[in-house]
Amino acid sequence: MISCSLSPDEIVVGEVTAVSLILHNQSNRDCISLSARVKFPREVGFLTGKRQFKIDVLEANQHKTIPFKLKGKVFGSYLVGFHSFRYRDGYGDIQSLADTKLNVKVFADGASPKKIDEVDSVSKYSPHKIRKILLAEMPSRFSIEELRTLCSILDIKHEEVGGAELTPFVRNLIDYCARHEKLESLVEVVLEERPFLKNKLLP
In tens digits, the chain (203 residues) has pLDDT values of 333 333 333 333 333 333 333 333 333 322 233 333 333 333 333 322 222 222 233 333 333 333 333 333 333 333 323 333 454 555 656 555 443 333 333 333 333 333 333 333 344 456 778 888 899 999 999 999 999 988 888 888 888 887 778 999 999 999 998 888 788 788 888 888 888 887 787 65
Whether 88 and 136 map to the same domain: the answer is no
* Single-letter amino acid code for the residue at 174: I
Q: What pLDDT does 94 receive?
A: 57
Say how many domains are in the chain: 2
Task: Specify the pairing of strand 18-27 against strand 2-7.
Answer: unpaired
Q: Based on the domain organization, do 22 and 56 belong to the same domain?
A: yes
The tens digit of pLDDT for each residue in 73-96 reads: 333 333 323 333 454 555 656 555
In a domain, 167, yes or no: yes
Structural domain span for residue 139: 127-201
Residue 113 in domain: no
Residues sharing a CB contact under 8 Å with residue 19, sequence separation 6 or more, in sequence order: 2, 36, 38, 39, 78, 79, 104, 106
* pLDDT score, position 92: 58
Same-domain pairing of 93 and 166 = no
Domain end call among 107, 140, 161: 107
Q: What is the pTM of this model?
A: 0.42
Q: Does a structural domain hold residue 117? A: no
Within 13 A of 28's CA, how many CA atoms are on the CB side? 8
Q: Show which of 37, 72, 107 is a domain's final residue.
A: 107
Judge whether 121 lies within some domain: no
Please tell me the distance from the alpha carbon of residue 190 to that of residue 134, in angstroms, as a whole number: 9
Domain-embedded: residue 118: no
Q: Is residue 122 included in any domain, yes or no? A: no
Co-location of 81 and 10 in the same domain:
yes
SS3 assignment, position 86: strand
pLDDT of residue 112: 32
- Compute CA distances 1 → 19, 21, 85, whole Å: 12, 15, 21
Do 96 and 133 lie in one domain? The reply is no
| One domain for residues 102 and 162 | no
pLDDT of residue 50: 28
Pairing of strands 32-39, 82-88: unpaired
